[in-house]
Amino acid sequence: MAASAHLAVLAGVGLVGAAAVAVGSRRDRWSGPADRVTLGRTVLVGGSATVVVLALLGDLPPRSWWLLALAAPAALLDAVDGAVARRTGTATPAGARLDMEVDAALLLVLSVALGPVVGWWVLGVGLMRYGFILAGRLRPRLRQPLPYSLFRRAVAAAQAAVLVTALAPVVPVPLAAGACAAALALLAVSFGRDVAALERRGRARG
């Protein structure tokens, strides 16, 4: 138990530390209260990672109210930091990127938690963004900025909502699996649309 607890704590602290370093290395560090909200979300994601590691090591059930108590506010606060940044006039590209990375980390943590419950295919939800980043390193066209898309935003918001709901111990496993499969399919469509749009733009530019 002691060794697993140490691993769990390291996982959580690592996530929080990475976010703190990202903020500290920015030129516009602490540009506003939105950064504090995002770092607060990072603490919740780090706590979620700690619980997930303990679950993977058999010290906690795969789905627990402890995990839900950390993951649910981490997902809900995603709508807060952006709104705070816009309302206070402190929105920055760096802050938006940090918010996006926290979103991606949360999805990865939640999909790992759900792997033993619905099947490890659910990792596709958590790994999709990282796969897109890797593809961009191999395909320069995919590194172009993406235009605003309401569909993309809606699909991204739905991912965390579905995964958090599926983690509730009272949700039947078949229902959780079906919801996660639908979320993964929507995410694949969203990324597919983005890839197609970037490829078309790249061809148009020659």
pLDDT at 82: 79
pLDDT of 22: 52
Instruction: Give the whole-angstrom CA distance, residue 67 versus residue 53.
Output: 11
pLDDT value of position 97: 82
Q: Residue 8 corresponds to which tokens in the numbers above?
A: 């769990």
CA atoms within 13 A on the CB side of 87: 8
Q: What whole-number distance in Å separates Cα of residue 160 and Cα of residue 78? A: 10
Residue 124: closest CA among 182, 166, 174: 182
Distance CA 206, CA 203 (A): 5
pLDDT tens, residue order, the chain (206 aa): 444 444 544 554 555 555 555 555 555 555 578 888 888 898 899 889 989 988 998 889 999 999 999 999 999 998 888 788 888 877 777 778 888 889 999 999 999 999 999 999 999 999 999 999 999 999 988 988 888 888 998 999 999 999 999 999 999 999 999 999 999 999 999 999 999 999 998 787 76
pLDDT value for 168:
97
Gap between the Cα atoms of 162 and 154, Å rounded = 12
Cβ atoms of residues 99 and 82 within 8 Å: yes
The two tokens of residue 2 are 């002691």
pLDDT at 12: 47
Amino acid, single-letter form, for residue 30: W
d(CA 80, CA 85): 9
Question: By C-alpha distance, which of 34, 9, 10, 13 is closest to 23?
Answer: 34
